[in-house]
Amino acid sequence: MRYQPLLCVFCACGTAGLPVHVAYAAPVRALTIEGSVIEGDWMGMRDNKLELSVEGKVTLLDPAQVMGLHWVGTTSRPASTIAPAATTPGNAEHDWVTVHLADGSRFPARIAAGDRETIKLQTDLVSELELPLSRLAAIRFNVDDASPAAGPFDEALAARDPTEDTLVIAHEGKVNTLRGVLESLQGDRVKFQWRGRSVNVDRARIFGLVLATGAGTTDVPPVRCILNNGSIWAGRLTGGDARTIQLQLAAGPALEVSVELLDDIQFTNDQLLFLSDLEPANYEFTPWAVTRWPYRKNRSVANRPLRLGGQVFDRGIGMHSRSVLTYTLDGSWRQFAATIGIDDAVGSRGNVVFRVRLDGREAFDSGPVTGRDEPRTVLVDLNGARTLQLEVDFGEELDIGDQANWCSARLIK
């Protein structure tokens, strides 16, 4: 069963201290922006605060001090596993696509209609969702991460071109990338303007479509709700009780979502900045042999979802020994925080040292970290530092399996 009694380990963060009887218990774990953990049962929202029952007493949390909520007993899934509910009526499974919105939303949908201005979608949560194309970032028609087209699609999505749409086609093991203008999405055909002429492409050959419209112009919504089918819905929390949350979508309608569908809620506010949203001032890599590894944003260094201790992290930095990332700061940030460890994908292998340097001075040294170790939390006072360096150094086993993760690496005011 998903809902079970929970042993609570917590820190105070606005505790009201009132006894409460929980008739419907959904165990949840809150992570503060500094990295403290509060565990209890979800009660809903009260006076714009998050309400939990912690050891039988009410705890009210200010969303501005919370980085995320995780419903215990669930595991978030990466984008490629997104799927509609098995009971969803309609056409066959291959008619469903994964839609990426510019606000960070990502969900399965069926395309009901579309032209150069708008698109009409059918989704599990919203039966009819009509959006201007300016809200879309991409549509992925294929969920196969092993496809050779997965890399080109992810790269185009990560660096959207504001002047041209990108069509990624995969057919018989070959990948073609076309740059031009989307004209329409109709049934099993996509009409695309390429090199000055309109071409009709069979949807079965299309891996994904990345759109230029609205690139770099959308504000980041206050929350992203991650459901247990892997989808993400961005918007603003407006209320809730022990069984539901009320979410005003950035994309339009208001929804009531059962907590049984939730894995995580991630909060965004001006007290927090993820390093993956910044461009580093410098990146240095010193290979042990000949392989040169790039750093990666929001992915492991091997370009997989970031995983530590069985948990998937949506944000973070993937690095390999030996490498150093340097960021320029403006002096306004109070702390740096992250969860560090060797990515789960390499098992017990890997042996590295994590270091944090401020203005060239060492502020943190993890000592040896291996794939056998549990993830650990890093919290470093910045003290007005102007440069922040993340270093992953060689350990005691050459560089074998040294896939080091700085999960949820962030700056705190």
pLDDT in tens, 200-239: 999 889 999 999 976 766 678 999 999 988 899 999 999 9
For residue 10, the model assigns a pLDDT of: 30
pLDDT tens digits, 112-141: 887 778 889 999 888 899 998 888 999 999
Q: 95 in helix, strand or coil?
A: helix
273-412 CATH fold: Jelly Rolls (2.60.120)
H or E, element range at 260: none
Mean pLDDT across the chain: 86
pLDDT average, residue stretch 302-312: 91
CA–CA distance, 329 with 149 (Å, rounded to integer): 36
For residue 94, the model assigns a pLDDT of: 52
**pLDDT at residue 378 is higher than 90:** yes
For residue 288, the model assigns a pLDDT of: 86
Largest distance between two CA atoms of the chain: 69
> Any residues with CB less than 8 A from the CB of 66 and at least 6 apart, and which?
13, 30, 31, 32, 33, 50, 267
E strands of 150-279, at which residues? 165-171, 174-186, 189-194, 197-202, 206-210, 223-227, 232-240, 244-249, 254-258, 262-267, 272-274
Percentage of the chain exceeding pLDDT 70: 88
For residue 80, the model assigns a pLDDT of: 43
Token pair for 82: 């997104």
pLDDT tens digits, 253-279: 899 999 999 999 999 888 889 999 899
Token pair for 329: 């700061």
Task: Return residue ranges of the chain for CATH 2.60.120.1060.
Answer: 273-412
For residue 333, the model assigns a pLDDT of: 95
* pTM beyond cutoff 0.85: no
- Torsion angle (degrees, nearest 10) of CA 342, 343, 348, 354: -10
